[in-house]
Amino acid sequence: MPELLDFQADFAAALRERQRTPAMERWLAGSGDVVDRRMAIYRANMMAAAEKALASAYPVIRQVVGEDFFHGLAREYQRGAPSTSGDLTGFGESFGAFLAAFEHARSLPYLPDLARLEWAVHRAYGAADAPDWDPASLATVEPDRQAEIRFQWAPGTAIVESAHPIVRIWTIHQPGYDGEFSVAWDLADTALVARDGYLVSVTGCSPADAAFIAASLAGTPFGEAAAGVLAGHPDFDLGALLGRAIPARLICGFTL
């Protein structure tokens, strides 16, 4: 067992850093050059798998920056944040933070927020199905306890706020989009990400609606969340929001 652990440690180190390849010479037959070529094959396969996983999670960013630049981004990201799991569906969670710190991406200041939006979409696709729920059950709550209601939102529901028009950018890069492609670059966007069945939607969301949904997602009771939003947004229409969210199955239950 100790030998297996030593082999695994040497192999992982050689995959991440080519200069660590000589450590594999005691495990693999052949000269140093042969071992180097063998490890290069593994290393190339690892990088290709990482890039494929990132491209799957971030298709819009790949379109925006181009295939060659995305290839470079994937290599740099993999070097700094290699996957620690055999399941690559979770690889790329910190890509937005990486882009925010990456010097060569600073000419596109919206990229980090666009990455956060794409990751929310990626997570929504893999979220659990929403449970069946009868909205009529809300009527069973005593009036003096309604403020204690904690809404349960459909798995995968997320709010992504940005100072950039990320909803517009995401929309015009979707397959089959046939509208006009103008972007008002000085406008801010707040995105509501939701999944219904096999479809994930990204829609613009008002600051007031976003604040309530975010508070509710965090487990804040109905009354407290509503009061907090109304303090900053006196025109907040809670009834209209619930009138949209419940039929759309964004809300799938509640607790007290």
pLDDT digit string (tens) for 95-154? 999 999 999 999 999 999 999 999 999 999 999 999 999 999 999 999 999 999 999 999
In order, the DSSP letters of 72-126 are: HHHHHHHHHS---SS-GGGTTTTHHHHHHH-GGGTT-TTHHHHHHHHHHHHHHHT
Judge if 10 and 101 occupy the same domain. Answer: yes
Final residue of a structural domain among 60, 78, 108: 108
Average pLDDT, the chain: 93
pLDDT-derived band at 24, boundaries 50, 70, 90: confident
Structural domain containing residue 193: 127-256
Find the range with the poorest average confidence among 12-21, 65-74, 214-223: 12-21
- Residue recorded with tokens 């709550």: 141
Judge if 24 and 87 occupy the same domain. Answer: yes
Report d(CA 69, CA 91) in Å as an integer.
19
- How many domains in the chain? 2
Judge if 103 and 7 occupy the same domain. Answer: yes
Whether the predicted pLDDT of 51 surpasses 60: yes
pLDDT number for residue 111: 98
Final residue of a structural domain among 60, 79, 108: 108
What pTM value is reported for the model? 0.90
